[in-house]
Amino acid sequence: MILDLFKLDGKVALVTGADKGLGQGLALALAEAGADIIGLSRSDSNTTAEAIRALGRQYHAMHCDFQTTNADVLRNIVDEAANQFGRLDILVNNAGTIRRGPALDFSETDWDDVIQVNLKSAFFLSQAAARIMSKNGAGKIVNIASMLSFQGGINVISYAAAKSALAGITRGLANEWAKHNINVNAIAPGYMATDNTAVLRSDSNRAPAILDRIPAGRWGTPDDLKGAVVFLASSASDYMHGAIVPVDGGWLTR
């Protein structure tokens, strides 16, 4: 039956940035659908672990700062994650950072840090996961893109570069890995009420301008991504490859 295709019972998902914001909502959604979760975080919080264990699912926490890591470390992390519960079916590349400032004054550090965390880490985690998934004959990779995978934004040039490129590698990897039965897709959240947008939401000019443009009439929440991530992580999306799915309250339609 159709709803059975959305079930994730027996699956294991690695979710980056799982301890707060959108990543926490994504991890909870996958667990509610039946998956056990490995949460990869920089910080050391137990909030997501407790919520997931309360659902009767297993949770294992791993730690890494993507700012200071490299491809070998990321590969070891993915291998360790796959060994934890004996398999790896789903990777959600959610962790991300943002630096704000006008392009004329933008620093090399603010460029490199955002590309490193939002793009390079996502690629090398995907590569390591796909090496395992291709041997297993199946896998799901879900990248968390952005409206700035489609648009330029204002004063966030390295973020726009990274998220546009993340959409690009989503399509490129989908092309290469579909033959291994690995689906690579992305969710492009709209303007969501998390720490990532705290500066915007407290800006008395930008906050009402953004809200005015959202047809749904409100900022998004982590819960708003739950349906999309379960869909893209489950068999219900087996024929989807390289899609960048907006979940944006209609922002892009304006």
Residue 97 interacts with ligand NAP (CB under 6 A)?
yes
Taking the complex as a whole, the smallest distance from the CB of residue 248 to ligand NAP amounts, in Å, to 9
Dihedral through CA 191, CA 143, CA 223, CA 95, nearest 10? -80
Helix or strand (DSSP H, E) at 63: strand 59-63
Taking the complex as a whole, the smallest distance from the CB of residue 149 to ligand NAP amounts, in Å, to 9
Residue (12 or 167) nearer to ligand NAP, CB: 167
Q: How far, in Å, CA of 163 to CA of 189, rounded? A: 11
Angle between helices 121-136 and 71-84 (to 10 degrees): 40
| Eight-class DSSP state of 72 | H
Total site size for ligand NAP, rule CB under 6 A:
26
**To which residue do tokens 């997501």 refer?**
48
Query: Do 250 and 215 contact (CB within 8 A), yes or no?
Result: yes
CB atoms within 10 A of CB 127: 15
Q: Which of 39, 96, 246, 249 binds ligand NAP (CB under 6 A)?
A: 96
Residue 158 interacts with ligand NAP (CB under 6 A)?
no
Query: Do 76 and 67 contact (CB within 8 A), yes or no?
Result: no
Catalytic residue list contains 159 = yes
Taking the complex as a whole, the smallest distance from the CB of residue 252 to ligand NAP amounts, in Å, to 12
Residues 131-150 that bind ligand NAP (CB under 6 A): 144, 146
Closest among 144, 97, 143, 91 to 116, alpha carbons compared: 97
Residue (96 or 242) nearer to ligand NAP, CB: 96
Taking residues 5 to 44 in sequence order and writing x for each that binds ligand NAP by CB under 6 A, - otherwise, the string is: ------------x-xxxxx-----------------xxx-
User: Can you give the binding site for ligand NAP, defined by CB under 6 A?
Assistant: 17, 19-23, 41-43, 65-67, 94-97, 117, 144, 146, 189, 191-192, 194-197
